[in-house]
Amino acid sequence: MAKINGAVTVNTERCKGCNLCVVACPSGVLDLKKNEVNNRGYHYAYMANPDKCIGCSSCALVCPDACIEVYRVVEK
Amino acid sequence: MELNDIIRPENRVYKRPSLLNEAHMHYCPGCSHGVVHKLVAEVIEEMGLQEVAIGVSPVGCAVFAYNYIDIDWLEAAHGRAPAMATATKRLMPDKLVFTYQGDGDLSAIGTAETIHAANRGENITIIFINNAIYGMTGGQMAPTTLLGQKTATCPYGRRADLNGYPLAISNLLAQLDGTCYVTRQTVYSPAAVRKTKAALKKAFQNSMDGKGCSVVEVVSTCNTGWKLTPVKANEWLQENMFAKYPLGDLKNE
């Protein structure tokens, strides 16, 4: 069976830590950095469980600040 | 697979639309405006209309829309965006002219302009962000505020006997002969975002084809005005807003 590998990059300086991407992710990949903030003082999103990402773009679609880019590779 | 092997330009399936510039949006974290801005930029880019698109920004939170999307913009007086869009489209019929308005702009001070522009069948698109509150001025009651909803100017909840009923203006517009497409969408989930994008595309195509006035209402959140977190605001939206503002096409000709 083909394995789907996904990954996202977050523009951490644009991220406002609204948590919408964390909730939208069906695989529980994303989380907000607990003890780190960006220059504007927001706890930005990051890939807490990168192995689970399937590159479905749900996080990027709901992101109000368009700071998520999505990558996807299907291994045959 | 290693992350470095996945994160390569050839594997990219979703990127930030190039029409959105680098300016930091002033919107609160989790605001629906950001999502709709992104969709407008994406749709214009995909339709190849960036050289002919003219937006009319309102007074309200979206007043700075011209700072974020790299197309031509006009800034209208409060509520007068459809009147300005009418003039623009009539003078330059080959341009894509759209307004981007909130509920305070479109359904309160601009009701007359909105209804008459729609009734005249102007070939413009009206994007209507309905979050049931005045967001920019600090969360006061709007015409679209739901019965029982608490705001700064109705702290015990909106009452029908005192404040009247919430105004579903898209339903009014759908009854006019001048409109060709009236739809109500939302952006709280990935599926809803995709539907809203399709609706915007259809509306812009209608405007370019000269079919009449298209209205895309986006039922949105104002988590700051509603005094909720962005995630809780999305839940509140699903529980309360859709009873008064049900989703779907109200008119599609």
Of the candidates B209, B225, B214, B25, the residue with the CA atom closest to the CA atom of residue B117:
B214
ipTM score of complex: 0.94
CB contact under 8 A, B15 and A69: yes
Q: For residues B185 and B171, give the distance between their C-alpha atoms in angstroms, rounded to a whole number.
A: 13
Q: What is the mean pLDDT of chain B?
A: 95
Confidence tier at B1 by pLDDT (50, 70, 90)? confident
Q: For chain B, give the percent of residues with pLDDT over 70.
A: 100
pLDDT for B140 equals 95
Spatial CB neighbours of B151, under 8 Å, sequence gap ≥ 6? B133, B134, B139, B140, B141, B142, B145, B158, B225
pLDDT for B192 equals 96
The model's pLDDT over B90-124, given as tens digits with 9 standing for 90+, comes to: 999 999 999 999 999 999 999 999 999 999 999 99
Confidence tier at B253 by pLDDT (50, 70, 90)? confident
pLDDT for A42 equals 96
* Position A76 pLDDT exceeds 90: no
The model's pLDDT over B165-209, given as tens digits with 9 standing for 90+, comes to: 999 999 999 999 999 999 999 999 999 999 999 999 999 999 999
pLDDT for B84 equals 96
Of the candidates A67, A54, A49, A51, the residue with the CA atom closest to the CA atom of residue A10:
A67
**Average of pLDDT values for B21-41?**
95
Q: A-chain residues within 8 Å CB-CB of B13?
A: 55, 57, 70-72
Q: For chain B, give the percent of residues with pLDDT over 90.
A: 98
Homologous superfamily assigned to B26-131+165-252: Thiamin diphosphate (ThDP)-binding fold, Pyr/PP domains (3.40.50.970)
pLDDT for A2 equals 80
pLDDT for B2 equals 85
**Average of pLDDT values for B48-60?**
95
| Domain boundaries of chain B, sorted by first residue | 26-131+165-252
User: How many domains does chain A contain in total?
Assistant: 1
**Average of pLDDT values for B18-29?**
94
B229 in A contact zone (CB under 8 Å): yes
B2 in A contact zone (CB under 8 Å): no
In the stretch 93-132 of chain B, residues with CB closer than 8 A to chain A read: none
The model's pLDDT over B133-165, given as tens digits with 9 standing for 90+, comes to: 999 999 999 999 999 999 999 999 999 999 999
Q: List the CATH number of the domain containing A49.
A: 3.30.70.20
* Position A1 pLDDT exceeds 80: no
Of the candidates A29, A43, A8, the residue with the CA atom closest to the CA atom of residue B230:
A43
Partner residue opposite B38 with nearest CB, options A6, A20, A66: A66
Q: Decide: B241 and B219 in contact? Cβ < 8 Å.
A: yes
Q: Is the dihedral of CA A68, B62, B169, B206 positive or negative?
A: negative
Q: B-chain residues within 8 Å CB-CB of A20?
A: 30, 230-231, 234
Partner residue opposite B13 with nearest CB, options A42, A57, A63: A57
B17 in A contact zone (CB under 8 Å): yes
Q: For residues A16 and A44, give the distance between their C-alpha atoms in angstroms, rounded to a whole number.
A: 6
pLDDT for A3 equals 87
* Position B252 pLDDT exceeds 90: yes
B10 in A contact zone (CB under 8 Å): no
* Position B89 pLDDT exceeds 80: yes
* Position A54 pLDDT exceeds 90: yes
* Position B19 pLDDT exceeds 90: yes
**Average of pLDDT values for A57-70?**
96
Residues of the domain holding A68: 3-75
